[in-house]
A and B are shown apart, each in its own frame.
Chain A
């Protein structure tokens, strides 16, 4: 299972593709379950990159935990949450993330 991630051009904030747009949290990102869906996400990413919305576009592995997408690799977990040594910063500190938790 994969989701599409990138950093927003204007402020560099990590974002994930969800519901036709770019969300600031990973939980509800569109999940690709097969190669065709991965190709579709990749094409969306390439278009958004070409359209100067986002940079550093990547497909990353996720698993679903309690109905929410969660990155598999530690690097992507940290990107999705924020620095592990500053839990007051990054997504983990945002009200939305707190509510989701």
Chain B
């Protein structure tokens, strides 16, 4: 993985020193909150309901064991023994004292981590496919390009005060696991007919109060033009994006109001000015960054087949975990493992200090020291020899992280909601917990099959409800929590925004409503192979409306 060079390390240390000084001056009363707020936000420090919150960047979701151990250490020493992995592949701590944040940032810097640009109207952490570098279906590892974008966008003077925040995601496979079409810029790394690498470029996706699916504005951009083209997009956005209304300031609104054809023309025109200048990526530089992401030396471990076969016979639970949480690796003797942070009834995305340390140990011993955070709020061990899978499984069982529910209904994305967040209008975690408990039976979950359920506690949609096969949005209505349901959303290569199915449900009703939706699906699917999303796209909302509201219509 990428290692800081001298420049990176100096820069991060300098930023720690600068922000530590700003914190000291704030605590001493030398600067006001109005002066300090933008400074703390640039360094990932929010103020939430109960305390400050620190959001730490995990670039493209990639971590090593030393870094994860440090996150565990921070959780224990400065927080309340746990952290929350987010839908942007980052981690948040919910309880740090402002006075401790300089020490936390110094600890982070010691393992090449920071919290820079995890807030504010700048280019945020670039996200990537969590199976990058391991997936059997990828054309090339997207992370070198994410790293190039990180270097380019870090404290970029022109793009540090954009109309609004800006999110970029990169995938290297046809099957999109990085939700690129829900981002301001989505990049799909691919090869052209000549076998050259480049990107399909999508612009103007986003969720929040105005969900939009990104529009493809270029089918193939040569890799050398990555930065000049992104600069052209950002320039057009920076110039024409609205600054008069926070809710209309994202590039999705500009794309929508300008029209795809016209905005593409503007971007291409800007790009003509830039494409052959200093932003063109030299092949040597691409190769230099690529070298950091060279895959580990995966020695052949053919004994894995026999070991896995035997272990399957010995243990039903291991066999189920293999089916659900283990995916094919590009090397036949290896696999990529999803470590579920969605134990039944647990808080989605939360991990304790000791769990973080234990997963770090497993990664160090059995996964070439590599870890990923997925945008679905799980951890990933991207390279595990099949021969070691049973040992890894047993170690995960020990720490309560072997729930075999990847991509099932209890693998819920949930924002922190009103239990922590100052912007939230309703709780989301307790709803996730209740649904998870209702569908606790793994047999039942597997019978239902792939089902992406996502919950947000306010219209800002941090819980990605718009792109859940089943989405739940919590709002406050007449002083109570009310949950609206959307169906038919999806965040893959066929991204779609879910449709509101009808009136909302109280917190007491919502789990029953979800169960009714699931039962309706089970009753109408053509075969167990027809996933919820496919069935919904075939039949539309009518049968689900009928199941949920028929009694009311008749009564009316």
A residues bordering B, Cβ < 8 Å?
7, 9-14, 49, 51-52, 55-56, 72-75, 78-79, 82-86, 89-90
Contacts and interface: CB of A to CB of B under 8 A. Distances in A.
Contacts of B98: 9-12
B26 A78 contact: no
A78 B417 CA distance: 11
A12 B430 contact: no
B419 A7 contact: no
A78 B97 contact: no
B476 interface: yes
A74 B481 contact: yes
Contacts of B47: 7, 12, 55-56
Interface string B29-41: 1001100000000
A47 B481 CA distance: 34
B427 A12 contact: no
B419 A78 contact: yes
B288 interface: no
18 contacts: A7-B47, A10-B27, A10-B97, A11-B51, A12-B96, A14-B51, A52-B32, A52-B33, A56-B47, A73-B479, A74-B418, A75-B424, A78-B49, A82-B50, A83-B50, A84-B430, A86-B347, A86-B419
Interface residues of B, number: 31
B52 A12 contact: yes
Contact of A10 (B33, B95, B99, B418): B99
B316 to A, nearest CB: 31
A12 B29 contact: no
Nearest to A7: B47
B77 interface: no
A52 B33 CA distance: 8
Nearest to B31: A52
Nearest to A79: B49
B427 A84 contact: yes
B51 A13 contact: yes
A78 B420 CA distance: 8
Given A52-B32, A85-B419, A11 B52 contact: yes
A13 B50 contact: yes
Interface string B475-486: 010011100000
Of the candidates A56, A85, A89, A90, the one having the most CB atoms from chain B within 10 angstroms of its own CB is: A85
> 7 tightest A-B contacts by CB?
A11-B97, A12-B52, A52-B29, A83-B419, A12-B51, A79-B49, A85-B429
A95 B381 CA distance: 41
A14 B420 CA distance: 12
Nearest to B346: A85
Nearest to B27: A10
Interface in B1-55: 26-27, 29, 32-33, 47-52
Given A10-B99, A51-B29, 15 more contacts: A11-B98, A12-B52, A12-B96, A12-B97, A12-B98, A49-B33, A52-B27, A55-B47, A56-B422, A74-B418, A74-B476, A75-B49, A78-B418, A83-B50, A85-B427
A9 B433 contact: no
A75 B27 CA distance: 27
Contacts, number: 75
Given A84-B430, A85-B419, A9 B26 contact: yes
Of the candidates A13, A14, A72, A74, the one having the most CB atoms from chain B within 10 angstroms of its own CB is: A74
B243 interface: no
A74 B419 CA distance: 10
Given A49-B33, A85-B419, A85-B433, A9 B27 contact: yes
Nearest to A55: B33
Contacts of A55: 33, 47
Contacts of B48: 12
Interface string B497-513: 00000000000000000
Nearest to A93: B80
A74 B99 CA distance: 29
B49 A14 contact: yes
B50 A14 contact: yes
Nearest to B33: A55
A51 to B, nearest CB: 7
Contacts of B95: 89
Interface string B52-65: 10000000000000
Nearest to B46: A12
B422 to A, nearest CB: 8
B420 A83 contact: yes
A10 to B, nearest CB: 5
B476 A85 contact: no
B487 to A, nearest CB: 26
Contacts of A9: 26-27, 33, 98
B542 to A, nearest CB: 34
Contacts of A13: 50-51
A2 to B, nearest CB: 16
Of the candidates B26, B50, B52, B419, the one having the most CB atoms from chain A within 10 angstroms of its own CB is: B50
Contacts of B49: 14, 75, 78-79
Interface string B411-438: 0000000111010100101100100000
B19 to A, nearest CB: 16
B50 A90 contact: yes
B221 to A, nearest CB: 44
A98 B247 CA distance: 42
Contact of B479 (A14, A74, A83, A86): A74
Contacts of A56: 47, 422
Contacts of B429: 83, 85
A14 B97 CA distance: 12
Contacts of B51: 7, 11-14
B50 A79 contact: yes
Contacts of B418: 74-75, 78
B72 to A, nearest CB: 18
A17 B32 CA distance: 21
A89 B29 contact: no
